[in-house]
Copies of this chain bind each other. A is one copy, B any other.
Amino acid sequence: MVSLEVLRDLATPAPSKLLLFVIDGLGGLPLPDTDRTELETAHTPNLDALAARSLCGLSIPVALGISPGSGPGHLALFGYDPLTYRVGRGVLSALGVGFPLEPTDVAARFNFATVDAQGRVIDRRAGRLPTEVNRQLVERLRTIQIPGVQIFVETESGHRGVVIFRGEGLSDALTDSDPQREGLPPLPVRPLTPEAQRTAEIVNRFIAEAAARLKDAHPANMILLRGFARHPNLPTLGDLYQLRAAAVAVYPMYKGLARLVGMTVLPTGETLADQIATLRQHWAAFDFFYLHTKGADTAGEDGDFARKVRVLEEIDQQLPALLDLRPDVLVITGDHSTPAVLRSHSWHPVPYLLWAATLAPDSVTAFGERACAQGGLGLFPAVATMRLMLAHGLRLKRYGA
C-alpha cells in the first residue's frame, strides 16, 4: 500500500489535464441466452476505438468478493483506501440530500417505523412510507428543540431520512437505536466513549420527543436511528497532489463525495451533454476533473438489462465531445458493478480504460468485461487510479534516489 504521505511527497505541479469519468455501476453480468454482459451487448464504437488506443483492465474497488457502496467505490477511485478511510452512513445520507455538513456535525440515517402498543417494532419501514408523507412528518420533527444543539431533519426518500446534530463537543461514538429486527423495542442509544455521554442523552431526548410528535401518525409512529457519523476530514486532493480539482455530477451524493475530498462542485445541467459543456466552460481553471453519470447504475438496480444497454450506448455517443476537450490523461470506469441480473451493486471487477500519450496501448480492441480482462492493467486495485493518472500526467516525482 502506498500511503498518502508518500504520494504527497512525490506530487509536483504540471500543466496536464486529468479527467476521471465514472459511469456508475458500469460492470455487469451476461444474460444466460446471449452470454453477453450489458457492456458487451451495447454498440459502443467510440469506446471500443478508444480502448484500442488505451490500456485496459478490470479494477477491484475494495477487494475480491466485496460489493462496495457508492462511498467506498468513489473513495477508491479518488485514491483513498476504502478499508482505511470510511465514510459513515449518516454522512453519506447528509451528502445525498445535499446538506452542507460541517466538520463537527454528527449525522445519522433514520427510518420511519411502526411500533405496537407495547413499543415493539412491527415494521422497520413503516409500510414503505410514501416520500410525500415522509416530508410532512419531517416538518413535525423539525419543531423539536433541545438546548445547546441545533437539529436539522431532512427527508431522503420513502421511509428514509437523515438527522444532523450541530453543537459544541458532540461525538459520533454512539450505538444505533435501530434493533435491526422486528419484534424488539427500539434500543436506547448508548455512548461508546465517556466523551459521547452528553451526545447520547441529546439523541435519546430527540428520539423521545419524536415519538411523542409521531404518536398519532401510524404507521410511521416511531423513528429508528443508525450510522452516527461525522465528516471524515479527509486530506484534500489539492493538499495531497497540488492540483485544482472540480466535479461535474448531477446527483447530490456524488457532489457530496467530491466535496469530501476538496473538489469544487461545478453547477451543471441534467444531461451528459450538459455536463460536458460544463467541463469545457471550466477547462482552463482546473487540473483534475471528476465526471459522474448515474443512469447505468439505476438501470442495473432496476434489473433493466435493455435500458442499461441503451444508457451505455448514449454515453458512447457523447464520447467524441468528451475527447474534444483533449485531456492529457483520461480514465473511464465505474465505482462498482451493478449487473441487471442481480439488481444490485456487486463485487465483480469493473471495466477500466486508461488513455494518455505516455503509455503503450495493449491489444484490447473492445470495451467490455472480458475484453478488459485481457488488458495490460489486468486485475488491479481501483485505489491505484489517482497514482496512475498523476503519473501519466507527469505529476509524480521519482520515489527514492
Contact surface of A with B, Cβ cutoff 8 Å: 1-3, 6, 10, 29-30, 35, 37, 58, 62-72, 82-83, 86-89, 92-93, 109, 227, 342, 344-348, 358-360, 362-363, 369-370, 373, 376-380, 384, 387-392, 396-401
CA distance A68 to B30 in the complex (A): 37
A251 to chain B, nearest CB (A): 14
Residues of B within 8 A of A389 (CB): 65
Contact between B370 and A363 (Cβ–Cβ < 8 Å)?
A: yes
Q: Is the CB of B29 within 8 A of A358?
A: yes
Q: Which residues on B sit within 8 Å (CB–CB) of A89? A: 401
CB <8 Å contact, B373 and A62: no
- Structural contact, B401 and A67, CB atoms closer than 8 A: no
Q: Which residue of B lies closest to A6 (CB)?
A: B83
Query: Which one of A71, A358, A369, A380 has the highest number of Cβ atoms from chain B below 10 Å of its Cβ?
Result: A358
Minimal Cβ-Cβ distance residue in B for A394: B342
Measured between beta carbons, the chain B residues less than 8 angstroms from A398 are 67-69, 344-345
What is the CB-to-nearest-CB distance from A152 to chain B, in angstroms, rounded to a whole number?
19
Inter-chain contact B370/A69, CB cutoff 8 Å: no
A9, chain B: closest CB distance, angstroms: 11
CB of A64 within 8 A of CB of B384, answer yes
Q: Is the interface of A mostly helix, strand, loop or mixed?
A: loop
Contact B370 A66 (CB under 8 A): no
C-alpha spacing A87/B345, complex, angstroms: 37
Contact of A66 among B10, B83, B344, B369 (CB under 8 A): B10
Query: How near does chain B come to A326, taking the closest CB pair, in angstroms?
Result: 16
- Cross-chain pairs A/B with CB under 8 angstroms, 13 sampled: A30-B360, A63-B387, A64-B380, A67-B391, A69-B401, A71-B400, A72-B400, A88-B401, A344-B398, A346-B358, A362-B370, A376-B379, A379-B380
Instruction: Quote the shortest CB–CB distance from A299 to chain B (angstroms).
Output: 18
CB distance from A373 to the nearest CB of B (A): 5
Q: Which residues of B contact A397 (CB under 8 A)?
A: 67
A70's nearest neighbour on chain B, judged by CB, is: B401
Chain B residues within an 8 Å CB radius of A37: 360
Not counting A65-B396, A346-B358, a sample of 5 additional A-B residue pairs whose C-beta atoms are within 8 angstroms of each other reads A63-B387, A65-B389, A87-B401, A348-B359, A370-B376
Task: Enumerate chain B residues within 8 angstroms of A348, measured Cβ to Cβ.
Answer: 359-360
